[in-house]
Amino acid sequence: MAQDKTKELLERGRAMYLPVYAQREMILDHGKGARLWDIAGNEYIDLGAGIAVSVLGHQNAELIQVAIEQMQKLWHTSNVYFTEPAIRLASDLVKNTFAERVFFSNSGAEANEAAIKLARKFASFHSSSEKHEIITFEGSFHGRTLTTVTATAQPKYQEGFGPLPGGFTYCPFNDFDAIEQQISDKTCAVLVEPIQGEGGVHVAKPGFLAHLQALCQKHDALLVFDEIQSGMGRTGRLFAYEWEDNIQPDIVTVAKALGGGLPIGSMLTTERVSQVMKVGDHGSTFGGNPVITAVAGAVLQQVCSSVLMDNVKKQSDQLQMGLKELQQQKKLFKEIRGKGLIVGAELQEPWEGKAAQLSELCRQHGVLILQAGPNVLRFLPPLNITDEELQEGLQRMKSALSRV
């Protein structure tokens, strides 16, 4: 009966959905902590957290309680009116970050759209119309809207969607000399991920972010960090850029984990930069929704706790140790890289190009992992994953890959 229901739902979904996803042969039904179950009763250890979204796992008791309490009061108002949960969340973001002003959206792509608009508006206000170029980096990923997919310096995401918006140039990531040659007085902003997630889990080299900051200051350009995947405690600090000393961004975008599973994005910026925007320049009907901002406030409070950050460090060590043991046994990986609980394992011959097949094999053995392109297995578990959950996930993965 369960198999029949799974088959029926899969057929209905495939018949009606826009065919843009390579979805797995399963219908997820419920979860608890870092465990998930499908409607057939199969259990999985979740080492992907909905692509870094379910930062506190599934059915987190505090988040459920906060959501219920707010849903029993008020669901939606639009930004014509203030609500207390959104004001509290904005205050907490300002308190815990460099920011002095906050804009709420529904997603990371929208947060990046807001950042791009703000950077262009700031340049037009303080300089000239020629100062509009934005530099991003090869291997980056900034979203799926037409503008953010243009900012994403990966041709595979852009093919067939031209003509693309102008004003973006691309630079090799972690190349100190190349960015120094490319940036100019026409540059209004440099948009960079401190850790490229979709691009294969590549971490900025020591000193690279400081180098970007110095160049931006020299050319009067804004420094924008996309922390949508690497932020919210994923690396053991609230933002990944905080691992480098004396960095002061102009704009930071955050989403994914901020809502703990509910959709929200945010653009954080300074008072100086924000002042070029006036009423009507930007907006979002659902941005700052009271239910979601109430939950996001609880997420932020948990993420900022030393207990959770200590767990990120502990489980990161265990995860990398487990992957290295697997490497010794099977010689699967060319390189294991990342920081905290954003980890990528790059495949080597003869397994290059087979990340999708290997992640599917792992699913069949009860552990959910992600890929970052065809060559990298990507791990983004909940930050509060327990010793037992992680070790069981690693054991299931070893069992699956031992069959390769």
Show which residues are catalytic.
141, 226, 256
Q: How far apart are CA 306 and CA 309, in angstroms?
A: 5
Gyration radius of the chain's alpha carbons:
21
Q: Please tell me the distance from the alpha carbon of residue 116 to that of residue 251, in angstroms, as a whole number.
A: 10
CA angle, 174 then 178 then 182, to 5°: 125
Q: How far is CA 242 from CA 203, 210, 227, 313, 356, in A?
A: 13, 11, 11, 15, 32
Alpha carbon distance 269, 282 (integer Å): 15
359 backbone φψ class: left, alpha, beta (φ>0; ψ -120 to 50): alpha
Count, residues in the chain: 404
- In degrees, rounded to 5, the angle at the alpha carbon of residue 314 between the alpha carbons of residues 352 and 397 is 35
CB 152 within 8 A of CB 97: no
Distance CA 100, CA 90 (A): 9
Complete DSSP assignment for 74-90: -S---TTS--HHHHHHH
